[in-house]
Amino acid sequence: MIEPTIWVLTTGEAGMRAQAIGLAEAIGLPFLEKRIVLRRPWRWLPGHLCPFALQGLSPEGDAIAPPWPDLLISCGRRSTAASIAVRRASGGRTLTVHLQNPLTPVSCFDLVVAHPHDGVTGDNVLLVETTIHGATPRKLADAREAFAASLGALPAPRLGVLLGGRTKHGGFSKTDTARLVETLAAHRARGGGLLITSSRRTEPQVVAALTARFAGDPAAYIWNGAGENPYLGILALADRLLVTTDSTSMVSEALGAGKPVDLFSFSGLGRRHRLFAERLERLGHVGCPKRPAQPDAPAPEHAGAVAARRILALLRERRKEL
């Protein structure tokens, strides 16, 4: 049987690409990545209200032209118009799957994969507990080997600390920063090592406070942005993980690593961040510094695997119909 053709369609943001590619990898079939650029005024409009959307694509992006794929995976609001246009141009032959709330009617797609806190409903909506990602067991095994001599040399139990930061709602207050430093210092006082990595959204004062507190401590590793990013190595070699609640992707990757995960909340969180964290804690998947996750805390099933099963079933049904 001829394998279905698959496109992964985004506007190039790292987080969107990671989710869409992660789903394609979970499906386990070859795929082609398409990064598009929407010109004005198309980029300002909801996807279902974009007339002649394919004509609104800039030549700076990849070409979107027939032959149309059997499956198109999109992620992010600005990719919805092109997905809807391809579905229409293919006469409905292309199965379209959108990740996250499309902010456009879900009937414009064959399947929408979203979180419970997104508030998206419909017969073609698949709700998953975590964000789809590409931190596969194979990648973690490779990272474990690559970083074993450095990160693996720190004393156990090693606490991996994954820091996000400022959101549109705000950032870390002085109290939040002090509480973070205190939490990590308490772990060090018990003899465990620290594996700390920040992100582009982590505020400089947070990194400065951690650097000052653990300066000269050989059991505290803080990535300074130089050299290879140790993110996957930290996921692989930590004995437990502390993740800031602002990033559903980091939380999901941490849960996928098979370690106990605690969430660190701070002042700059929005309603959706809090709903996501509260649901995971209520289901027993995560803890927090005051109520740490148990070593045997159950992790939710990988969202990519859940979505891949549904998509493969839809593709089989579609082929029977054609």
Dist CA 181 CA 172 (whole Å): 12
* The predicted structure's pLDDT at residue 225: 86
> pLDDT tier at 234 (50, 70, 90 boundaries)?
very high
Average pLDDT, the chain: 95
| Residue where the block lists tokens 């092109």 | 82
> pLDDT tier at 224 (50, 70, 90 boundaries)?
confident
What is the reported pTM? 0.92
The residue among 108, 105, 114 whose CA lies nearest residue 94 is: 108
Structure tokens of 219?
């059991």
* The predicted structure's pLDDT at residue 1: 58
Structure confidence by residue, pLDDT tens digits, 40-78? 988 888 899 888 899 999 999 999 999 999 999 999 999
* The predicted structure's pLDDT at residue 322: 58
- Is the Cβ–Cβ distance between 192 and 276 less than 8 Å? no
Dist CA 28 CA 15 (whole Å): 20
Percent of the chain whose predicted confidence (pLDDT) is above 90: 91
Structure tokens of 222?
């803080």
At residue 193, the 3 state secondary structure works out as: coil
What b/e readout covers 90-108, taking b as 16+ CB neighbours within 10 angstroms?
A: beeebbbbbbbbbebebeb
Q: Is the dihedral of CA 296, 300, 302, 306 positive or negative?
A: positive
The angle at the Cα of 243, spanning 170 to 259, to the nearest 5 degrees, equals: 165
The β-bridge partners of 8 are 33, 73
54/319: higher pLDDT: 54
Side chain identity, residue 308: A
Dist CA 155 CA 139 (whole Å): 23
The residue among 261, 262, 263, 258 whose CA lies nearest residue 236 is: 258
Which class for 60: exposed (0-12), middle (13-18), buried (19 or more C-beta within 10 A)? Answer: exposed
Domains present along the chain, CATH in parentheses: 6-132+303-321 (3.40.50), 137-282 (3.40.50.2000)
Structure confidence by residue, pLDDT tens digits, 275-318? 999 999 999 999 999 999 999 999 899 999 999 999 999 999 98
